[in-house]
Every structure is written in C-alpha cells, then in structure tokens.
Amino acid sequence: MKKVFVLTAVAALILCGCSEEKQNHNVYVLPGNSTANNQSSESVRNSSSTEKIEGNISFSSENPEESSSPESSSKPAVSSSFDKYGGVPERDKDGSIDDEDVKRTLSEEEKKFAEKSLFVGDSICKGLMTYNIVNPENVFATGSVATRNFFEMDFFYYGKNQKFADVLPERNPQNVLFSMGMNDVNMITSEKFCENYSEIIASVLDTTNADVYICAITPICCNFTPKERIAEFNAAIKAYINENYISRVHFVDFTEPLKNGEGRLKSYLSAGDGIHISPDAYYLAFHELYSELISNGYYKPNVVTHSSSSAESSETSSSAEQSAESSVYSDEFTSAEEQSSSDVDFII
C-alpha cells in the first residue's frame, strides 16, 4: 500500500511539472531591457490579456487549447516584436545595404551642427547617442517619451534625472530638434498631437533664441501601427507648423532614404524589431536631415546667433567640469534610466 501511495504522489508531481512547463511556454516576452525580462514568471503568467511592461510587451495565449497542443509547447519562450506585430516582413527587393551606399561618418559641417544642437525625444532619438552618431551631451532622450507626457518625463542626463525645462536654459543650444511621436500614434489624435507639440515648441521659444526643428516620425516595417497612421501624423504636424510659425520653427522630413517602395521601413535598416532603426539608418537619416536644413535655408552654417555665442562662452568656462561628468554620464545612463522608467508602460 505504501508503494502505491508513493508512486501515486510521484506521478502527481510529474504531471504538475509538465503542466506548469507547458504554461510557461505559452508566455511571450519581447526582448528589451533587463529589468522587464527579470520580472517573475508568476506575475507574467497571471496576465490573461495583452499588457505592456516597462517598454516590453508580454502576452499569454487566451486559447486554452493551445496550452495543451504539441505545437505550443515547442514554441520559444521569447519572441521578437516582428512576431508580435504580424510576422517578419518579406525582404526588400533591393536586398541588404551596400557599404558604398552609406557614409558612416559625419562631415565636419554636420559635426559642427550637431555640437550646436540638442536632440530631444524618445528611444529612437536616443539611438543617436547609443550608436555614437553624435556626442552624448547633445542628446536629451529617453524611452517611452511622447508629446502627451513630455513635461512629466525624467531624462537621465549628466548623472541625474532632469526635466527638459531645467536643462534647456542651461544648455542654451542654437538648435533644438525634436524626434518623437511613435508613442503617440496609437494613443491620441493627430489634432491632439499638434496641440501637445505647440506647448513643447512654446517652451523653447519663450526661454531661448534657439531654432526649433520638428522631425518626422520614422517609418516602420511591422504592424505596430498602419503606415497611413504615421503619414497622417506627419502631415498634420507639418501643416500645423507651416500655418502657425513664420520663422524659427520648421518641420523636417529625413525619412525618404529609409523607406522602400511601399513607404515602409526597409527591413535591413531595422534594428531588429521593425520599429527602431539601425546604425546605418541613423547615418542615412542624419545626412538627409542636414541636407534638408541647408537646401531649404533653415540652417545657415556661418550665421552665429545670440544663443550659440552665449552657449560657446559658457562651454569654454565649464569644459573641464563637463569632461569630468561625461564619463559618469556614459557609464550610468542605461542602468539609471531603467530604474527611473520602472513605472512607464510604453514601448518606444
């Protein structure tokens, strides 16, 4: 009798283990920051519908039959966002990018422009620093930022969390370039997008002499949102700027070199998720951006504004201090940003 009881108990334990293993295979967590990926499996398993966790999307199957099917038990526990947003797109007909097609460095004039500028925005904007396209001190960006939450967001900058309103007068750049909107397209209307941007623009015009450039939302090659939705938002903010600002504020679209014939992001220019872009894409975009500014007369390299002259004098007096801080900034950026964004639930 004791042997029967022991065998029964062992069998029950084995069955429970198999059931739990199958359930775990049904949980998909997109790759992202380590904070999100280290969340307990129990909290993820308890989610029965799509939810966003610190910039990652986790979801479990709502079909109970899937958990018991052989196919589902063999699925990987981690899936890319290509899978989440509708499958890997077909490769572009023009194939992978040729080295000759991309100039993987900035010209001296482009570097000077970058040094006089502050690039502000979401994680796509942050890539300018991540891939060393421009210097870290010229990038003020963080994941999950959008026009609708811009003034509430903390940006990790020079070793500490700071608000845009505090950093802007201190940096006093000649140019402020905003690149965001991916976190808005599925959440608000294009009209509200323009309204939010007007407040952000006003915060720059009222406190500095800087020129403001609103950059187009970049294309994607996944089903995060329809390409028509991105086009609508870009057209709306372009029209709004043209109608409401005579000078100092300009809309800039640098996205054409990134698009395929269908208006989607060329798949080989994706960083892997169909939303963020690769280092080559940043170089293509920056070259196009600078070309647009020059050809439209928005930026004149030899013209020195009050903003730039005062910024240069302040830079001379504090260069030693900034040099000492830069190493702290570079080393601590990622970990501190992940901690500060622990309660944020957007993807970009």
pLDDT tens figures, 259-275: 999 999 999 999 999 99
Q: Are residues 103 and 57 in the same domain?
A: no
Q: What's the CA gap between 304 and 292, in Å, rounded?
A: 19
Residue 265 DSSP class: B
The helix or strand, by DSSP H or E, that contains position 326, with its residue range, turns out to be helix 319-340
Task: Find the domain containing 271 and state its range.
Answer: 99-340
Q: Are residues 255 and 106 in the same domain?
A: yes
Q: Are residues 204 and 320 in the same domain?
A: yes
* pLDDT score of 302: 78
Residues 58-105: pLDDT tens digits? 222 233 333 333 333 333 333 344 444 444 444 455 556 665 568 899
Count structural domains, the chain.
2
Q: What's the CA gap between 108 and 249, in Å, rounded?
A: 25
Residue 58 belongs to some domain of the structure:
yes
Comparing C-alpha atoms, which of 259, 224, 258, 184 is closest to residue 82?
Answer: 224
Residue 5 belongs to some domain of the structure:
no
Residue 347 belongs to some domain of the structure:
no
Q: Are residues 72 and 112 in the same domain?
A: no
Q: What's the CATH code of the domain at 173?
A: 3.40.50.1110
With a CB cutoff of 8 Å and minimum separation 6, the contacts of 307 are 172, 173, 174, 208, 209, 210
Distance linking the first and last C-alpha atoms of the chain? 61
Q: Are residues 302 and 206 in the same domain?
A: yes
With a CB cutoff of 8 Å and minimum separation 6, the contacts of 77 are 24, 25, 27, 28, 29
Side-chain half-sphere of 154: how many Cα atoms within 13 Å?
A: 16
Q: Which amino acid is at 173?
A: P
* pLDDT score of 96: 60
* pLDDT score of 98: 60
Residue pLDDT tens, the chain, 348 long: 545 454 555 455 444 444 443 333 332 222 333 333 333 333 333 333 333 323 332 222 233 333 333 333 333 333 344 444 444 444 455 556 665 568 899 999 999 999 999 999 999 999 999 999 999 999 999 999 999 999 999 999 999 999 999 999 999 999 999 999 999 999 999 999 999 999 999 999 999 999 999 999 999 999 999 999 999 999 999 999 999 999 999 999 999 999 999 999 999 999 999 999 999 999 999 999 999 999 999 998 876 654 444 444 444 444 444 444 443 333 333 333 333 333 333 456
Pairing of strands 211-215, 175-179: parallel
H helix runs in 96-223, sequence order: 108-115, 123-130, 164-171, 190-205
Q: Are residues 136 and 276 in the same domain?
A: yes
Q: Are residues 296 and 176 in the same domain?
A: yes
Residue 7 belongs to some domain of the structure:
no
